[in-house]
Homo-oligomer: A and B are copies of this chain.
Amino acid sequence: MVLAHLTWEEVDALDRETVVLIPTGSLEQHGPHLPMFTDSLLVTAVAEEIERRLPSKVLLVPTVWLGASAHHMAFAGSLTASMTGYGDVLKQIVTGLSKHRFRKFFVLNGHGGNDSLNDIALRELKETFASSVLAHKGYHEFAEATIAQVLEGPSKRIQHSCEAEVSLMMHLHPDKVRKEKLIDDGLIPEPAISSLVLTFDEVTDRGALGYATLATAEKGKAIFESAVSGAITELEAIHAGFVLRGQ
């Protein structure tokens, strides 16, 4: 069910095992070839498809579109939530629906910069709602194997406005891809230093990171299907309940 479209009487009638699905995106630069809203568009598309396939098991909340994007602020148009403000929004959504007696929540993330904050917010919520089921994961994490398989460029994982993201946009929003602007972009530290916290203007020339020129709608379709079906498996397990077994 789509929360935004329901009346309070309809929400009141819902089964409280329903899993609340909260998509989190961003509004940040995606290089010269993709629009600001790419992360929000993609995670919304995945979330809406999940709700379409599992309408009675999922309660879809509107996308939290203002993500944590301070590392993109050097590029015009990018917006960023504050770290505390971002978490506050998530906490208000979960707290509000907990008042309405929902107790299963899944945050589906579409922007890497939100990961740590989703983790923190849910851990803080778990202190209050100890018996609730709280979960979060990036949509692309459900499609990791597919991504590694379909990408042709040297990078086999999702990056930023890359072969994978552009493919997804070609599949879902082809009119929003500036095909004439596609570039391969991205710098890495040499020697390799994986621990660094860097801003995007420190590691790209024009705001993208990856092999966008290799993107195709077909690859996008495969990644999308894989993300949707992976997330559905997870959500159905949460909806059904689960047992803990010895390791």
Interchain CB contact (< 8 A) of A92 among B9, B85, B137, B185: B85
Contacts of A188 in B (CB 8 A): 244-245, 247
Measured CA separation A175–B80 after assembly (Å): 35
* Docked-complex contact A80 and B96, CB < 8 angstroms: yes
Q: Which of B84, B88, B92, B135 contacts A195 (CB 8 A)?
A: B135
Q: Which of A48-56, A122-130, A219-227 contacts B (4 or more CB under 8 A)?
A: A122-130
Of the candidates B33, B106, B186, B193, the one whose C-beta lies within 8 Å of that of A246 is B186
Is A3 a contact of B36 with CB atoms below 8 Å? Answer: yes
**A174 contacts B by Cβ under 8 Å:** no
- A4-B36, A197-B136 known; A244+B190 contact, CB < 8 A: yes
Contacts known (A106-B195, A126-B197); A189 close to B243, Cβ less than 8 A: yes
Most buried by B among A30, A181, A189: A189
Expressed in whole angstroms, the minimum distance between the Cβ of A36 and any Cβ of chain B is 5
A150 at the interface (CB under 8 A from B): no
For A64, the chain B residues whose CB sits under 8 A away are 66
A116 and B181 CA atoms in complex are apart in Å by: 35
Interface of A is mostly: mixed
A7→B181 contact, CB < 8 A: yes
CB-defined contacts of A197 to chain B, threshold 8 Å: 119, 122-123, 126, 134-136
The answer to whether B237 touches A76, judged by C-beta atoms less than 8 angstroms apart, is no
C-alpha spacing A207/B137, complex, angstroms: 25
| Chain B residues whose C-beta falls within 8 Å of the C-beta of A99 in the assembled complex | 73
Partner pick for A193 among B6, B35, B135, B189, CB 8 A cutoff: B135
| Contact present for B244 and A8 (CB under 8 Å) | no
Name the distance in Å between A82's Cβ and chain B's nearest Cβ: 6
Contacts of A153-200 to chain B: CB distance below 8 A: 154-155, 176, 178, 181, 184-199
Bound together, the chains give a CA A181 to CA B119 distance in angstroms of: 32
Contact of A135 with B196 at beta-carbon distance under 8 Å, contacts A6-B35, A37-B62 already known: yes
In the complex, which residues of chain B have a beta carbon less than 8 angstroms from the beta carbon of A97?
77, 79
Is there a chain B Cβ closer than 8 Å to A42's Cβ?
no
- Check: A209 CB closer than 8 A to any chain B CB: yes
Whether A155 contacts B247 in the complex (CB less than 8 A), given A82-B92, A85-B92, A126-B199, comes out as yes
Closest 9 CB pairs of A and B: A11-B77, A85-B88, A4-B37, A116-B116, A8-B29, A186-B247, A135-B195, A187-B244, A12-B76
